[in-house]
Amino acid sequence: MNDEKDCVDRDEGSNRRAAQDERIVAALAEGLTYVQAGGLAKVSDRTVARRMSVPAFARRVAERRDEQVVSAVGELTSLVGDAVDAIRSGLVDESARTRVAAGKLVLDLVLKFRQSFDLGIQVAEIRAHLGMED
């Protein structure tokens, strides 16, 4: 009889730990501090730090963050057309200040895109030179 109770206690403890871990992962992925994550999971910040010292756990947090970034990028990408339309309308606005700001934005973005494109080419060339082609 005692063995059954011990098994049930272990299962409950395991489920509680899994729920705490999930709360910690979610909180840290959203950018909360160890203290805040611990508060949500009802554990100390030292416990959060201890869990983060386990590579597999830290990877879970990093993967969750990556998922959130991919999701945000997808949402922002859907707004690109609207953003371009807003910049385009700013270029022909009555206000000289708005036209200049829109023009400056276009030039800044073109330069950033060009630098990013050039950097991508350079990285690809270096990877090819090192035999690291995908």
Q: Residues 116, 117, 119, 120: is their CA dihedral positive or negative?
A: positive
Could you report the per-residue pLDDT of 99-133, keeping only the tens digit for each?
999 999 999 999 999 999 999 999 999 999 999 87
Specify the pLDDT at position 71.
94
Tally of CA atoms within 13 A in the half-sphere of 75 that contains its CB:
6
pLDDT at 78 exceeding the cut of 80? yes
pLDDT at 9 exceeding the cut of 60? no
pLDDT at 6 exceeding the cut of 70? no
pTM higher than 0.75? no
| Residues in CB range of 30: below 8 A, 6 or more apart | 68
Exposure b/e, 19-35, CB count within 10 A at least 16 = b: ebbebbbbbbbeebebe
Could you report the per-residue pLDDT of 35-68, keeping only the tens digit for each?
999 999 999 999 999 999 999 999 999 999 999 9
Q: Where do the domains of the chain lie? A: 1-76, 79-134
| Residues in CB range of 88: below 8 A, 6 or more apart | 102
Q: Residue 10 and residue 12: Cα distance in Å, rounded? A: 5
